[in-house]
Amino acid sequence: MKCKENFMFKLVMMLTPKTGADTYVEIGFTSASGTSSPSVRILRPYRFFTS
Supply the pLDDT for residue 33: 78
Number of structural domains in the chain: 1
Q: pTM value?
A: 0.55
Q: Kindly state whether residue 48 falls inside one of the protein's structural domains.
A: no
Provide the pLDDT confidence category of residue 37 given band limits of 50, 70 and 90: confident
41 belongs to a structural domain = no
Looking at residues 2-25, what average pLDDT do you find?
83
User: Residue 51 pLDDT > 90, yes or no?
Assistant: no
* 51 within a domain of the structure (yes/no): no
Residue 16 within any structural domain of the chain: yes
Please provide the DSSP assignment of 1-51 as one string. Answer: -EEETTEEEEEEEEEEEETTEEEEEEEEE-GGG----TT------------
Per-residue model confidence (pLDDT) at position 4: 62
